[in-house]
Structure 1
Amino acid sequence: MPTQVQPPLVTTGPRRLPGVRLRELDGLRLLAALMVCLYHYTGRDGPVADAWGGSPRDVFPHLTQIGQYGSLGVQIFFVISGFVICMSSWGRSVGDLFRSRVVRLYPAYWAALFLTVGAAVLLPVDGHIPRYADFLVNLTMLQMPTDTPRVLGVCWTLWAELRFYLLFAVFVLWKGTTKRRVTLFCGGWTVAAVIAQGSENDILNTLVVPDGAPYFVIGLALYLIHRFGHDPALWGVIAVNWALGSGFAMQNVPAPSTSAREPLIILAVLTCGIGAMALVATGRLAFARWRWLTVAGALTYPFYLIHEHVGWSVILVLRQHLNIPAAQTLPLTVAVMLLAAWLIHRLVERPLTAYLRGLLRR
């Protein structure tokens, strides 16, 4: 009898049913945004001290010890972004990625620019009002590469995201997304990030994004695990980039005797964030797909954009004009920012997104 040939094992299909919204990702997005918000309100000095009427370290002596680590929410954002971009781009073209990013990023961003400038004029905290020329450049989201003063302090993260999209489009999407191609991209980008981190070449550092690469790569690898199942090579990529990303984050932190920020706490926060994303990738957080998290996810981006400068103006009004105690001013400011984010989502993002999507398709 002829030997029966077994069909090859197919590993290119989706491991989980398409169309299932990972609402737990929305929850992690909002949590990361709130971490950054806590950092900008309580974890640092600067203009926010003028809003509070004193250093946050004096206003919130205990909360500051937690808030100073909130900036690590940005790195968690990058991990989520790597996961989401790989998921949303699978089977699509470079043009699809371009259109999706334009309609996703720009409407809320434009609204945040106008709102921030309005707050700077009416309720100034740091006394900085952008010049017309600077504002126009900021409308393009290209202020960082053109060395133009930023209107939004948080927009440096968008520049990192834009470079990630460009690299992913050129090295992955251009020829079609496959597990092998994404895996090779993860490995190649990791090597390039290591080389760039040790070099003094500004062009190389700009192109490779060494400070953000480990986190984006972790997100990409976690999506491959989510889609295709456990893979020792991918877990190895994650482990290497966890070590690199944690090391990069701790390099600029002085010794514990001269700084309140402990390197080991930085390591713990990053590890918890990456661990939470690993739980998402392996389906261990599927129980948390509550419907209300969809709303939380929709609010995260506009909230992230406006919470810093506009939030400082709100703190100034509540704390110094209305004499509301600091303990009540903090949650009230967060609530006002979330309400403003919801209004931006409903009144700006929804209608303008639909218009831009139709315009770009035509």
Structure 2
Amino acid sequence: MSLTAYPTHVSGQDSLRDDAVARTAPTADVAPGPGREHKPGRPRIRVLDGLRLIAALMVVMYHYFGFASMPSAYGWLGVQLFFLISGFVICMSGMGHTVGQFATSRIVRLFPAYWFGVLLTSAFLLIWHVRRAPTIGEIAVNVTMLQGGLGVRSVDGVYWTLWAELRFYLLFSLVVWFGVTYRRAVAFCVVWLLGAVLTMKTPGIANTVFVSEWAPYFVAGIAFFLIHRYGQNVLLWGIVAVCFLISENHILALTAHTNKIAGRSDLPAWPAGLLLALFFALMAAVALGWLRVDWKWLSVAGALTYPLYLIHQYVGWTILAKLADLPYLPLRLGLVAFMLAAAWCIHRFVERPMARRMRPALARAFSSLDAPVLARSRRLLQPGRGTAPR
């Protein structure tokens, strides 16, 4: 395929109508990238579920083993992989959907397991006092997931990433509002990355809005999805390259920060940089269709990832403190297995039932928001009405 500035296999007429179609044609299927067949009924890219589980387990190992071994000492990099995957998946899930549908999918995905995690972690901390227990006010604010913006302490340490994700969703919802197309997604990537760079060293409202520290990971993920969906070109690889270089510099600073927190100076930065390069390479392989792992059990693995991430840290630390007399390695490995089982239970008995109840209510609530957009798009798609807006 030619590395041109715009995908050569997307026709001009298709690109003109893409804006309106993006608003009115929700689809469960992921459009194929170069050289791939479109397979109806297969909305998931299962290899991403596997990568998400790897990212979650990296973070779990870091929190349970810390600096006990060199591999676990770099487990915090699982967050970077999470954010890369998130950019890919959110762009994919926003394409062909209205902003109401997008908001419904995000709320249903985020909040049921999160609410359960807040209550479970709070109960552990209030009963066993291994760490400072949250106040009723802190728990109440944490239920909204807005504690990061309000300066309220999170019930669990891992929740800081959710504040970054939530801001990304809000920013990307602007693209979804107008309809996710190639041009709009690329423009969003360029504008967002530029804004993040300009505000990265200036703490304040602009830094918060642009999610400056983490934007390069999300933007790279979006660019990888566009490569997967439309094919590779110089512009998209250029965006990925810029994000990678910025991220590598960021990783060096984070490694130094991690050393400082741990009170040591012997953690070299080069393995972190190498791991980040591996993550970008894996995402590139997914985007280009080179990494095709389609085992069905990976969907289950992907479903475990979010609840595992939510409950593993403070609940796990409480269990480790209470069972500290048990052998070190069996205790931690057993705890990982226990947390995976608990994550499955949360997915099966909390997430799925609550999602079934929440989705229709949210769809009705957002229907009035989507109605004007849908009506306008349908008019644009009628014969004789001209081309769709660009």
Alignment TM-score, normalising by the size of structure 2? 0.81
d(CA) in 2 for partners of 1:15, 1:108: 31
1:158 aligns with 2:181: no
1:262: Cα distance to partner? 1.7
1:91: Cα distance to partner? 1.1
2:62 aligned partner: 39
What CA deviation, in whole Å up to 9, does each residue of 1:70-91 have, x standing for no partner?
Answer: 1111111001000000111101
d(CA) in 2 for partners of 1:254, 1:360: 44
2:206 aligned partner: 204
2:47 aligned partner: 24
Q: Give, as a single letter, the amino acid of the residue that structure 2 aligns with 1:113.
A: V
d(CA) in 1 for partners of 2:249, 2:271: 12
Q: Verify the 8 A CA contact 1:15 1:229 in the aligned structure 2.
A: no
Residues 53-202 of structure 1 correspond to what in structure 2 (within 5 A)? Answer: 57=67, 60=68, 63=69, 65-126=70-131, 128-170=132-174, 172-198=175-201, 200-202=202-204
1:201: Cα distance to partner? 4.1
d(CA) in 1 for partners of 2:155, 2:256: 30
d(CA) in 2 for partners of 1:152, 1:11: 47
My pick for the range that moved more, 136-145 or 10-19, is 10-19
1:97: Cα distance to partner? 1.3
Residues 216-255 of structure 1 correspond to what in structure 2 (within 5 A)? Answer: 216-254=218-256
What RMSD, in angstroms, separates the aligned Cα atoms of the two structures?
A: 2.0
Q: Verify the 8 A CA contact 1:225 1:281 in the aligned structure 2.
A: yes
Q: Verify the 8 A CA contact 2:190 2:239 in the aligned structure 1.
A: yes
Alignment TM-score, normalising by the size of structure 1? 0.87
1:352 aligned partner: 354
Identity fraction in percent: 46
- Secondary structure in 1 aligned to 2:323? helix
d(CA) in 2 for partners of 1:95, 1:361: 7
2:280 aligned partner: 274
d(CA) in 1 for partners of 2:156, 2:102: 24
After TM superposition, the runs of 4+ consecutive aligned structure 1 residues lying more than 3 A away are 7-16, 252-258
Q: Give, as a single letter, the amino acid of the residue that structure 2 aligns with 1:228.
A: Y
d(CA) in 2 for partners of 1:84, 1:357: 20
Q: Verify the 8 A CA contact 2:114 2:307 in the aligned structure 1.
A: yes
Q: Verify the 8 A CA contact 2:100 2:363 in the aligned structure 1.
A: no
1:4 aligned partner: none
1:284 aligns with 2:290: yes
Q: Verify the 8 A CA contact 1:83 1:221 in the aligned structure 2.
A: yes
What CA deviation, in whole Å up to 9, does each residue of 1:125-175 have, x standing for no partner?
Answer: 22x1111111111111011111111101111101001111111112x1121
- For residue 270 of structure 2, the aligned residue among 248, 264, 267 is 264
Q: 1:11 to 1:330 in 2, by over 3 A?
A: farther
What CA deviation, in whole Å up to 9, does each residue of 1:203-259 have, x standing for no partner?
Answer: 111011111100000100000000011111101100010000111221244499972
Q: Give, as a single letter, the amino acid of the residue that structure 1 aligns with 2:79.
A: V
d(CA) in 1 for partners of 2:14, 2:320: 53
My pick for the range that moved more, 254-263 or 223-232, is 254-263
Runs (5+) with no aligned partner, structure 1: 1-6, 44-56
What CA deviation, in whole Å up to 9, does each residue of 1:316-358 have, x standing for no partner?
Answer: 23333xxx21111111010111111111111110100111101
Q: Verify the 8 A CA contact 1:108 1:349 in the aligned structure 2.
A: yes
- Secondary structure in 2 aligned to 1:144? helix
Q: Give, as a single letter, the amino acid of the residue that structure 1 aligns with 2:289.
A: G
**Residues paired across the two proteins, number:** 331
d(CA) in 2 for partners of 1:221, 1:11: 20
